[in-house]
Amino acid sequence: MAADGHLLSLEGLSREFAIRRGLAVRRFPAVDGATLSLPSSPHEILALAGESGSGKTTLARMILGLTWPSSGRILFKGRDVTLLGGRERRSWFRHEVQPVFQDPYATFNPLRTVDAYLSATARNFRVAARSERESRIDDALQAVGMSLRDVRGRYPNELSGGQLQRVSIARALITRPSLLVADEPVSMLDASLRMSIVNLFRGLRERQSVLYITHDLATAYYAADRVAVMLRGWIVEQGPVEKVLGEPRHPYTQVLKSSVLEPDPASRSGGRIAVSVSETDDFLRGGCRFAARCPQVMDVCRATVPGDAVVDGRVVKCHLYANGGTDG
């Protein structure tokens, strides 16, 4: 177990992409100074929420080792994963951190049976002796409410979307990871199937921690213990889900929450919401990246980047809480 008691901690993690405008090349920070951690115990579901283009997926790809950070550190069980050699990355890190993908219909090879896909995963990761592989796979399928008998010899088109997403979660469980990174795992599923998968993640917390990436605040509130809200590469508010989504403090989180369409005609409301014309402008502007749309914008917001402040049990990156914000 890690010396500092964290399963995962991100320290000032950043990733820049270069964008060209005519002859000029500008640095575009897709993730900018992300600092975040998951405890070793108890297991936790941490939701990473934010609109499209907020950097959620880039952050997840860095945690999975699919995208290299430009700066900052990723510590997993106390070890800096960017410094791992290829062999250790394969034999240790990839067993410990597993992805669950967004689209179950696109994850599977339509010409291969589902059980062949699962046993290939078990073989590639050398999870057990050949004789025990089947029971490892069955164990993973049992954890998602299925069994090897349900999928043996069957092709992906013979399973429903909900079943396929269960199988794709089971695939991630074969190595018995300590962390699942699930990027929008229910956004492709129908309403009547969605909650059964979200409930599955709630149940899987017994086995390991989950980083649940979503733009759906209602399922984040329902499933997660803590939430980090991202905006244009920054984590603008993070803390327990009841605090951050229950009584949001950052103006952006407040806008997000009030935008959620509650399934209740009584909650209809008017009011226009500011929407940015171009995402890149927000990134390249000085000061706070929400300033152009913020209902509580001040002069200082357009000039300087806000710092992090602890307010009422959560961390908020906003000038409103710059002085004396520490009331909790």
Partner 1 sequence: MNLVAEATDLTAHYIVDAYGQKRTVRAVDGVSLAIRRDEVFGIAGESGCGKSTLLKALLGAITPPLTVRGGSVSYYVDRQRMDVLRMPEEDLRALRWRVVSYVPQGSMHVLNPVRRIRSTFRDFVQAHRQVGDRESDEMARRYLDGLGLPPKVLDSYPHQLSGGMRQRVTIALATILAPPLVLADEPTTALDVVMQRAVIGMLEQTRREAGGTLVLVTHDLGVHAHLAHRVAVLYAGQVVEEADANTLFERPLHPYTKHLIQSLPRIDDRARRVGIPGQPPALDAPPPGCRFHPRCPHAMAICRAEQPPMETVGPDHRVACFLVSGGAGDGG
Tell which residue, 174, 49, 164, 44, has the closest CA to residue 113.
164
Angle, helices 161-173 vs 191-204, to 10°: value is: 20
Residue 24 engages partner 1 in binding (rule: CB under 8 A):
no
Q: How far is the CB of 232 from partner 1 (least distance, A)?
A: 12
Q: How far is the CB of 247 from partner 1 (least distance, A)?
A: 10
Region near partner 1 per CB under 8 A, out of 30-38, 94-102, 194-202, 205-213 = 194-202
DSSP string, 187-250: TTS-HHHHHHHHHHHHHHTTTSEEEEEES-HHHHHHH-SEEEEEETTEEEEEEEHHHHTTS--S
Here the tokens at position 4 are: 């500092």
Residue 296 engages partner 1 in binding (rule: CB under 8 A):
no
Q: How far is the CB of 197 from partner 1 (least distance, A)?
A: 8
Q: How far is the CB of 323 from partner 1 (least distance, A)?
A: 29
Residue 286 engages partner 1 in binding (rule: CB under 8 A):
no
Q: Is 13 left (phi over 0), alpha (psi -120 to 50) or beta?
A: beta
Region near partner 1 per CB under 8 A, out of 3-11, 114-122, 144-152, 189-197 = 189-197
Residue 106 engages partner 1 in binding (rule: CB under 8 A):
no
Closest to partner 1 by CB, 7 vs 186, is: 186
Closest to partner 1 by CB, 33 vs 162, is: 162
Binding residue (CB under 8 A) for partner 1 from 20, 277, 323, 327 = 277
Are 38 and 44 within 8 A, CB to CB? yes
Are 147 and 138 within 8 A, CB to CB? yes
Q: How far is the CB of 30 from partner 1 (least distance, A)?
A: 15
Closest to partner 1 by CB, 207 vs 215, is: 215
Region near partner 1 per CB under 8 A, out of 32-40, 138-146, 169-177, 192-200 = 192-200
Binding residue (CB under 8 A) for partner 1 from 3, 22, 87, 267 = 267
Binding residue (CB under 8 A) for partner 1 from 18, 271, 324, 327 = 271
Task: Show the site string, 116-155: x = touches partner 1 by CB under 8 A, - = not.
Answer: ----------------------------------------
Residue 260 engages partner 1 in binding (rule: CB under 8 A):
yes
Distances, alpha carbon 225 to alpha carbons 44, 195, 244, 300, in Å: 6, 17, 11, 33
The per-residue b/e assignment along 24-57, b for 16 or more CB within 10 angstroms, e otherwise, is eeeebbbbbbbebbbbbeebbbbbbbbbebbbbb
Q: Is 212 left (phi over 0), alpha (psi -120 to 50) or beta?
A: beta
**What are the two backbone dihedrals, phi and then psi, of residue 261, each rounded to the nearest 5 degrees?**
-85, 95
Say how many residues touch partner 1, by CB under 8 A: 49
Which residues ranging from 63 to 102 are in contact with partner 1 (CB under 8 A)?
none
Distances, alpha carbon 258 to alpha carbons 48, 83, 266, 288, in Å: 18, 42, 14, 21
Closest to partner 1 by CB, 74 vs 245, is: 245
**What distance in Å separates the CA atoms of residue 257 and residue 198, rounded to the nearest whole number?**
20
**Residues binding partner 1 (CB under 8 A):** 50-53, 160-162, 190-199, 215-219, 221-222, 245-246, 255-268, 270-273, 275-279
